[in-house]
Chain A
């Protein structure tokens, strides 16, 4: 059962081949067996999952099955879940039990999905390797010495190891797409505003977006259809038609214009990864797509731009963690200032402190214009470059990450080396564009990801292109042997 995709499991449930309870118990068993090895979960909600599965089975029996009825899912521990601990990978939220559900959690539950648990992640989603989590690093199912990427590393590892068919994630600078690439899974980051951010612990509000990690583009389409749409509780969610993403998958790639960004194949990209990505582009060309070379002249500035804008927004968002209304509080504070400073000093890890301080610095008097305002102007240039490119092509295709999975501990000494992992993914966040990473082969036995980025609200296009690619290849069907 665990080898099946969400779509195949839906067929099995609908045909009465197995019940949601049987499926849930089987996967909970796998999570128990492999959970400690991977450290992919912060919380497993076994009892609640069984109860939800029983309700789903009952609903099906009475002809009342929702679109995801009885299908298992796990949530990144950044989505608030009512009555269930929501840590965001941080010590400061170690005892936080959310009083409400995030909209994403609510919509999936209303569609019948069964939540099995909450996945490990970089602290407050700040990281590209899952090593900044207070709850310890997640290991990569393809090789336990390696990182699964991050920040949605627990979600990606759980899906790659076939513990669950699907997981939610969030992507502020590549946090869904990069771990998907490093674990051989599919990672979809929708357009900014496509999915509600209500109930997501905020990191950088102009960049954060919820999405999914699955094993096929088809599964991602199934989930997006349920998650997407206007939510009055998120003032940045957009009132834009939600198409039938699954129906849209059948659109052939014939005639599709694919932009290949010259700058994406410059130095910095591993030679074997480049070869795999180019092979996948040839496969799409053979299927009738046309490849066009394009330029994003300012894309080289996307990482420094991001590391001004994201920390600035994070320093403001994370000011709410002050030890007063919820979360960790220091012992015996001398006065209110001491309460704030020690609570936050104890509660946050090193990377989160660095980002809060970077943000505080770039927003402080005398530096605001030189850093923050300047970065927002460069962001405009980067965004304009994408707009120009999308006047002549339908999608942009290229690598998701510069290398395959790297060793745990390899990049922790230098923050810049770690930040450069997101060199191909950050542009889409700055410009608010949808992106997807799909498995496109292996280099020395480790998965490589192909990234497709489309114009605003072109999820249908990138999903159908990814799906058609998965009809031509079977990379996405290959899983790590240790978790067969």
Chain B
């Protein structure tokens, strides 16, 4: 196993994913296999190679900083689990 249970739990915390107790062993097993599999990249000679940033090697197209969207807040917030007065509600963050 290339990853330990502790490492997997740390990654899950970074990814903001709660894993159930029953899931963890399977995740450790499969994630280890994936990491072992991609480890074969280490053998490729890439000393003078630049990392590829874009499939067409193009640079980002920019646009003028103009307002193009109309205000659709009420419509968009219909999808929100919890709102009040146009705001999104979450559990209290600051006491």
Contact = CB atoms under 8 A, between A and B. Distances in A.
Given A307-B34, A377-B52, A315 B82 contact: no
- Per DSSP, chain A at the interface is helix
Interface residues of A, number: 74
Contacts, number: 170
Contact of B51 (A235, A376, A414): A376
A130 interface: no
Given A357-B11, A380-B51, A301 B44 contact: yes
> Interface residues of B: mostly helix, strand, loop or mixed?
loop
Interface stretch (A160-168, A333-341, A392-400): A333-341
A445 interface: no
B91 A304 contact: no
B86 interface: no
Interface stretch (A30-38, A106-114, A366-374): A366-374
Given A206-B55, A432-B55, A415 B33 contact: yes
B11 A361 contact: yes
Contacts of A379: 51-52
Contact of B49 (A305, A358, A381, A419): A381
Interface in A182-233: 191-193, 206-207, 232
Contacts of A348: 17
A245 B8 CA distance: 49
Contacts of A419: 37
Contact of B63 (A232, A362, A376): A232
Contact of B14 (A364, A378, A431): A364
Interface in B13-34: 13-20, 23, 26-27, 30-31, 33-34
20 contacts: A206-B54, A235-B61, A238-B58, A324-B81, A327-B81, A335-B93, A344-B17, A350-B27, A353-B17, A354-B30, A358-B31, A358-B35, A360-B15, A364-B11, A371-B38, A374-B46, A376-B53, A377-B51, A381-B44, A419-B37
8 tightest CB-CB pairs across the interface, nearest first?
Answer: A432-B55, A345-B18, A376-B51, A326-B79, A329-B81, A377-B46, A341-B18, A380-B52
Interface of B: 3, 8, 11-20, 23, 26-27, 30-31, 33-35, 37-42, 44, 46, 49-56, 58, 60-61, 63, 72, 75-76, 78-82, 88, 90-93
